[in-house]
Structures are given as C-alpha cells and as structure tokens.
Structure 1
C-alpha cells in the first residue's frame, strides 16, 4: 500500500532514470541491513526505496541505501554510516545529548554536515521519528522519512529547516546515476569533484 506522503512526494520529485534498476538492487539488501543492525527498517523507508532507491536529493542530502554495493564508493550503507555515527555519538561532546548512540539509525547526511537519523522508540519502526543532529543540537520531528522528504520538497518544514532545502525544483539522483554522471564528467575532463 502506497502512503499519502509517498504520493505527495512523487508528484514533486521524479525518480532518476536509474532508480527503477537501482531500487530493486537496494531492496535486495534490506534483509542484510536489518540483520546487521538487529532492527526492522521503517516501512516508509522501504516504500521510498522501492520507488527511488538510495541516492541524493539535490546533490545536497545523501540518503543511504541499506547495504553498500560492491565496488561503488557512491552507495552509502545504513549499516556503515550508523556504525560510524554511533562511535561519534559516544564521544563526550555528543553523549550528553545522544547517549551512546545505540538508540539511533543514521540514514542520511547533508552537505552542511547534518546527520539525518531515526530514533528507535516504540514497538514498531513505523513510529520512529526523524531526527536531525547538527553541531550539538538535536531536532526531533513527529513523522517518518517519506513525510519529511515530502515536506522538504513542498515547503512544509519549519522555516529553520526549510531553508536547507529551498522552495522547489528538486531532483533525486540514484547513486548509480550519480556514479554514471560523474564518470562521464571525469572522462570528458569537466569533473570538478562535486
């Protein structure tokens, strides 16, 4: 069943050309990621993966795939980045706010260094809120990833957060398409690293 939030997101954010191919690959990795983390990933994230796969929103917000694709530096794995986040969270400067980090799953990172997380709470991963952790400040939002992205793409976040995403014209790029684009730029001599 497709959620209302996913339908709203699809109206304003088209999947990239490689999303259909890549989404199937990303969905195959779900069981591996869930086993490694000892959790069930949120159902709205799985809906998102089925349409978009892992990739980036506006070359700004990287949304991790469940597992890293062999041989590709462009696919970030939720398992890998969660492990890295939890090690950083346990450091004294972060632990006061985040505890040992074990209550969080890291699903994204933006160009400004903000961590996008789920806080594990309640009986079901469907209830996990999206959290943003930025320079010692934790913002907890009362909805999941797809609602968050739909609001980000339609101007529906609180002003402080919406400024990060702008007002419109958003583009999603699956990590495979990003890899192909950057390879083509590199091969043509026009690659500048971003």
Structure 2
C-alpha cells in the first residue's frame, strides 16, 4: 500500500471505516505530528518498513489508549523524553528479550526477530506483526494471549482494530472491552490522568 499520510487520496477501506467508529481526539494535531515524525527512526532501529495502515493511523490519531483497555504504542521515543511512553522500538525489544527466555512467547517455527510488537491490553495480551517478508503491508497481526497460544489475523492492523472496536475479532470472537468506545486518548493525555501508564507493555 502506498503511504498516503492523509494526502487527500482515498484511505484504505478499513481505516476509513475506523474513522466512523473511532473519531480522532480533538486538538492533538501537534502530538500526532510528533508521533508521525518518529516513524523513520523506528524503521531504522527495527530494520523494517512499518505497515502503511499503522503509519496512516498515527497521522490520523497519534498513539494512545482506546477505552483504558487497549494501548497502541507510538513509533519511536527516547528514554530521556519527558513525558516518556513506550514506543514500538522499546516494547519490541522487551518482548523479544522475554521470548528468548519464555517459549510461550515464541511464535512457532520463527525467530523472535520476526515479531514486532505494536500494542497490548489490560489483560497483558500482546499484539504484534509477524514479519513474513519485505512487504510490511502483507504482514498479519498475531496475538500472543496471556492465557497461552497465538492467533493469526491476516487482515492486518487497521482491519484488526476495526473488528476489535466492534466487539469481536476472529472466527472465535474475542472481546477487548472496546465496543461502544468512541475515542482514542493520546498517550500524553493518558499520562496526565494516570500513573503509571495503563497500557502495561510486557
């Protein structure tokens, strides 16, 4: 998928539909620009191109929490940032390090470097991309469930979020407490209201 970054071209269908279900937080355009500016540094650190629908999502929403249940990481940040919130680079490094020690975090038959984490929820489930090749727009979303095991969602990031916001994901529906939620709270707003950050990345 060509990177649009809200260029006026039609958005991917799932992302366009997500906008009708989950409107962006008003007045955080500056925060969104800061988050979007971190994409090149994140890609350089991870050695991959991030999926286009995630980049477009960051341009439209920024990173943050949906309904205090579901946290989406910003692309990049420094530990010295004030305020600080975990980035994709940070949480992926932490996940991979843990997966080297815990078999249940390893996707079967794949090296830990094929997993890039982008989110978590208040049940400590981990939401990741499975790196299947150079075309990041073809990467499936995989969920590592705290209760054990993985599920694979071929539809990708935006379609996965859309399904989650509608209350169910996959052939055997899993609910995340997002149905009825009408806004993503940017992570800087989250940090002003809660301490520590409610999306506790593992």
- Match 2:192 to one of 170, 180, 184: 180
Task: Pick from 163, 176, 189 the counterpart of residue 164 of structure 1.
Answer: 176
Q: What do you get for the CA RMSD once the two structures are aligned?
A: 2.2
Alignment of 1:8-87 (within 5 A): 8-68=17-77, 70-73=81-84, 75-87=85-97
Q: Normalised by the size of structure 1, how large is the TM-score?
A: 0.86
Deviation readout 1:91-133 (Å, 9 max, x if unpaired) = 2433473744110100001110100000000330000001100
Corresponding residue of 1:110: 121
Query: Shift of the alpha carbon at 1:150?
Result: 1.0
Task: Please list every run of 5 or more consecutive structure 2 residues that lacks an aligned counterpart in the other structure.
Answer: 1-8
1:158, distance to aligned residue in structure 2 (A): 3.2
Q: How far did residue 52 of structure 1 move? A: 0.6
Tell me: CA distance 1:41–1:80, structure 2 relative to 1, closer, same or farther (3 Å): same
Q: In 1, Cα distance between the equivalents of 2:64 and 2:142?
A: 19
Distance in 2 between residues matched to 1:93 and 1:52, nearest whole Å: 34
Q: Is the CA contact (8 Å cut-off) linking 1:24 and 1:50 kept in structure 2? A: yes
